[in-house]
Amino acid sequence: MKIKSNYTKLFGAFSLTFLGDGLTLAAVPWLISTLTSDTLYASVTMTALRLPWLLFSLPVGVLIDRYSRKHMLIGAGFTRMFLLLALTLCIWGGWVSIPILALFMFGIGLSRVVFDSTVQTVIPQLVDESKLEKANGQFTAGQLITSDVLGVALGGFIITLHIVFPFAIDAVTAVIALLFLISLKGKFYPGDTEITRKEVRPMKNWKREMWSGIQYVYHDRFLRGLAILSVTITLMYSIILATQIFFVRDVLQLDAFAFGILISIATIGSIVGSQAVAYMRKKWSTKQLIISSILCMGIIYGVVALTTNAYMVGGLYFCAAFFIIVYNVTRSSILQRSVPNEMLGRVGSVFRFLSFGISAIGTLLGGLLVRVSETIFDRLFSLQLPYLLLSLIYILSALIFAMKMKNHSESQQRNINA
């Protein structure tokens, strides 16, 4: 009962946090538009929300592996609650400006880094190893439903009443989420039991501790390969996201409303994938799921590049989103299962740092790729080109990773027989 109760409380805090986050993300662009019409200022403000992932992912991973994870969650929850209450007052009083909003976004982003990173290390302390895919799938579904569906939809409606309401509701959800976190039983120190508290060494050199996470990934052949694969997958996916709106508008000839429907279809595919991955794990190994999901994504996006039929693309987006979630949930479960719990914060932070860092580069490359391509080819092909490249690289990556894992398994077997 204790574990089940803690799991429910953590899931409740997680879902409430992302519900409020969806409301805020829907409202921030509208708030920015009331403060400035300068696109540079607008982009800087939104960048402030993501910047903490680049700056603090690695240091936060060290803290997660050194202190009570419950206290880390409470600290992140309290910070988020305080910032949202203060931001709500500033908006209500008419004291908000672009610099002030950017500072609030940076602080809220930092609290998200701590909260999201810590949750990923607490989940394996609450569930059996055999149920990691199911638990990760439930948390992923919770995030998608509360943030991407309910949060954004409600945010768009609530904004019409008053711009301050989404932020105020987010502040209320932050208060309730904090109460859930405070009520968690246990301290969740790094490791499998509370005894680990006595074994945790004082952090004398945080840079050395941070570097140990990087070294752990580098020296583990499987994790190193998974990190390279993750960078490749994220880079190419960021490239197509950067120009997706133009692909939908100019290639598929869809308007903003139809684009919203297309994204909603993809979101439904993600939710279905998050629930199906636990069943799929019973039939296939994690390595088979990783390889097959990447291979399927490569084939699906290759077909997207070759069609201008919006209905077909909608179905393909559903399938692609399904396999994206299967890949992400499986990868998270692999890390939680293969990395010692006392190292999980640092190792997970390495993957998050690589993911967010490469996504920023991919976004820039996506726009640059289309611009350069347009000097040689027409716009239609230039907007299809990112999907073609993604398809090729995903298929090659899946095949290379499969061969590497086969060689790795054969090498391990030889060592056992020696």
Pick 65 or 199 by higher pLDDT: 65
Q: Do 314 and 341 contact (CB within 8 A), yes or no?
A: no
> Picking from 27-31, 93-97, 137-141, 298-302, which range would have the lowest pLDDT averaged per residue?
27-31
Residues 126-155, mean pLDDT to the nearest whole number? 87
Both tokens assigned to 325: 């979630």
Say which CATH topology domain 2-187 has: Growth Hormone; Chain: A; (1.20.1250)
**In 3-state terms, what secondary structure has residue 182?**
helix
Distance from C-alpha of 409 to C-alpha of 5, rounded to nearest angstrom: 39
Give residue 4's pLDDT. 55
CA 155 from chain center: how many Å?
21
Q: What is the pLDDT of residue 46?
A: 78
Q: Is residue 206's pLDDT more than 70?
A: yes
**What's the mean pLDDT when you consider all of the chain?**
87
Residues whose CB falls within 8 Å of the CB of residue 14, separated by 6 or more in sequence, listed in order:
119, 139, 142, 143, 177
Domain borders along the chain are 2-187, 209-412
Confirm whether 2-187 and 209-412 share one CATH topology. Answer: yes
**Do 210 and 217 touch, CB atoms closer than 8 A?**
no
411 band by pLDDT with thresholds 50, 70 and 90: very low
Query: Average pLDDT for residues 203-211, to the nearest whole number?
Result: 74
Token output for 261: 């429907």
Q: In the predicted model, is pLDDT for residue 1 greater than 60?
A: no
**What pLDDT does 200 receive?**
53
pLDDT tens for each residue of 244-256: 888 998 999 988 7
Under CATH, which number does the domain 209-412 receive?
Answer: 1.20.1250.20
- The tens digit of pLDDT for each residue in 35-86 reads 988 767 877 787 788 888 888 999 999 999 988 999 999 999 999 999 999 9
pLDDT per position as a tens digit, 356-376: 788 878 877 888 899 899 999
Burial of 88 (0-12, 13-18, 19+ CB in 10 A): buried
- The alpha carbon torsion through 22, 24, 25, 26 (nearest 10 deg) reads 90
What pLDDT is recorded for position 408? 54
End-to-end CA distance of the chain: 46
* Per-residue pLDDT, 348: 92
Q: Has residue 232 got a pLDDT over 90? A: yes
Span 77-123, pLDDT tens digits: 999 999 999 999 999 999 999 999 999 999 999 999 999 999 999 99
- CA proximity to 82, closest of 105, 108, 119: 108
Average pLDDT for residues 161-168, to the nearest whole number? Answer: 93
